[in-house]
Amino acid sequence: MTTSSATQIRLAKNTPGIPDASFWNFTHDPVEAPKEGEVKIKLHYISIDPAMRGWMTPIRSYMPPVQIGEVMRAFGIGEVIESKNNQFAVGDFVHGFTGVQTEASLDATFLRKLNLDDAPLDVQMGGLGWPGFTGYFGMTDICNPQPGDVVVVSGASGAVGEVACQVAKYAGAYVIGIAGGEKKCAYLRDELNLNAVIDYKNDDVKAKLKEVAPKGVDVYFDNVGGDTLNTVLGMIRYKARIAVCGAISQYANMDKPQGPGNYMKLISSSGTMRGFTMKDYLMQIPEASQQLATWYNEGQLKVQTHVVDGIENFADTLQMLFHGKNFGKLMVKL
Ligand SMILES: NC(=O)c1ccc[n+]([C@@H]2O[C@H](COP(=O)([O-])OP(=O)(O)OC[C@H]3O[C@@H](n4cnc5c(N)ncnc54)[C@H](OP(=O)(O)O)[C@@H]3O)[C@@H](O)[C@H]2O)c1
């Protein structure tokens, strides 16, 4: 039974906007030994997610908001260093809600044991982890792409988007990726072999979409919301499916989000637009995990990760997401 000292990052304020350093307090509180059913873990990676902006916003959502003074919620990957749970042994690597901290004693109920043979840990945080599962279930279950369908994915080069794009390609769809800047678009075109790409920072999205999808869009996997969602809605075809995965363009002003004026297109096209979170798919995670690991190890799934060193860089790293400065799954390595 050991008590050790660690670093925690706690929420200092919960106002709107892109969170800068003033939103966080660092503490160095001792970590208690694990109680019955718990494990104590040493964190190796902390996931940096757009959802953090939502978790720190004091409105009702799919999870209770993080309170001021609490350790910031985050997914993490850690190594078990003490165990009071017979499902986990010292030396096991686990993934789950660990918080932004260097060590923690956690209820092991919701921790998932990782198989180190599947892929490197950063990849298991990204395309083979939660963002990959999100892209996989959103695309297979909600979008259900058929051979020849025209599928559009925004945020296409990101952690969720790149998996959604590749799942749609395997289904035989014609896939169009939307991302910001030539580097990300080149990745989509040359590495993921998408059928067309749109650089929303430099192209006229509406004009380009008309050029590459003259007959319209069957499926839209939306990661960004805002103008892009509205533009694609205006071009949907009969029985189109739209998966509302995220709306990162709106997260800094959650009090006044921009709605899609073209929503009535859903009526004339008998289209569906459905939101989801991974909460809907918790029981099916083993299916996605196995499928994505198989594709990855066969060389059929590409996964991009972006690793920043040091918990002290947490605030700057989180901001990168909202300026498009990450390229692939963003995380802090400890
Ligand atoms: N529903 C769920 O269960 C679930 C789970 C995980 C994630 N998500 C959502 O999925 C989306 C992608 O998450 P991720 O973890 O994969 O992040 P990510 O795509 O790896 O990183 C975020 C990217 O968003 C783009 N972006 C930032 N501001 C933007 C803006 N104003 N307009 C358009 N694009 C913007 C940037 O790429 P560019 O350089 O291309 O602009 C940035 O790199 C987010 O909306 C997130 O909230 C949902």
User: Taking 60 as the threshold, does the pLDDT of residue 42 lie above it?
Assistant: yes
Q: Give distance in angstroms: CA of 94 to centre of ligand 1.
A: 25
Residue whose structure tokens are 């994915």: 153
Q: Give distance in angstroms: CA of 76 to centre of ligand 1.
A: 18
Q: Give distance in angstroms: CA of 11 to centre of ligand 1.
A: 22
User: Taking 70 as the threshold, does the pLDDT of residue 150 lie above it?
Assistant: yes
User: Taking 70 as the threshold, does the pLDDT of residue 1 lie above it?
Assistant: no
Model pLDDT, residue 110:
85
Over its C-alpha atoms, the chain yields an Rg (Å, rounded) of 20
User: Is the CB of 277 within 6 Å of ligand 1?
Assistant: yes
- Given pLDDT bands bounded at 50, 70 and 90, which one contains residue 254? confident
Nearest ligand 1 atom, CA 329: 20
Q: Strands 112-113 and 24-27: what pairing?
A: unpaired
The string of pLDDT tens digits covering residues 269-278 is 999 999 999 9
User: Is the CB of 305 within 6 Å of ligand 1?
Assistant: no
> Residue by residue, what is the 3-state secondary structure of 177-239?
EEECCHHHHHHHHHHCCCCEEEECCCCCHHHHHHHHCCCCEEEEEECCCHHHHHHHHCCEEEE
- Substitution candidate for ligand 1 out of 223, 274, 285 with most atoms within 8 A of CB: 223
User: Taking 90 as the threshold, does the pLDDT of residue 3 lie above it?
Assistant: no
Helix intervals (H) in 56-204: 121-125, 130-137, 159-170, 182-186
Which positions ≥6 away from 62 have C-beta within 8 Å? 277, 279
Q: Give distance in angstroms: CA of 236 to centre of ligand 1.
A: 22
Dihedral (CA of 43, 45, 48, 54) sign: negative
pTM to 2 decimals? 0.96
Record the tokens describing residue 290, joined without a space. 């196995």
Instruction: Return the C-alpha torsion angle 194, 126, 325, 142, nearest 10.
Output: 50
Q: Is the separation of the CB atoms in 296 and 271 below 8 Å?
A: no
User: Is the CB of 326 within 6 Å of ligand 1?
Assistant: yes
User: Taking 70 as the threshold, does the pLDDT of residue 70 lie above it?
Assistant: yes
User: Is the CB of 224 within 6 Å of ligand 1?
Assistant: yes
Question: Which of these, 73, 69, 70, 4, lies nearest to 32 by C-alpha position?
Answer: 4
User: Is the CB of 275 within 6 Å of ligand 1?
Assistant: no
- Given pLDDT bands bounded at 50, 70 and 90, which one contains residue 61? confident
Lowest mean pLDDT among 59-68, 91-100, 184-193: 59-68
Model pLDDT, residue 5:
74
User: Taking 90 as the threshold, does the pLDDT of residue 255 lie above it?
Assistant: no
Q: Give distance in angstroms: CA of 158 to centre of ligand 1.
A: 6
- Substitution candidate for ligand 1 out of 53, 122, 248 with most atoms within 8 A of CB: 248
Helix axes 205-212, 226-233, angle to 10 degrees: 40
* Mean pLDDT (the chain, rounded): 96
Q: Give distance in angstroms: CA of 233 to centre of ligand 1.
A: 19
Whose C-alpha lies nearest to ligand 1, atom 46?
Answer: 246
The string of pLDDT tens digits covering residues 198-248 is 999 999 999 999 999 999 999 999 999 999 999 999 999 999 999 999 999
User: Is the CB of 321 within 6 Å of ligand 1?
Assistant: yes
Q: Strands 75-83 and 38-47: what pairing?
A: antiparallel
- Given pLDDT bands bounded at 50, 70 and 90, which one contains residue 2? low
Nearest ligand 1 atom, CA 50: 47
Q: Give distance in angstroms: CA of 37 to centre of ligand 1.
A: 35
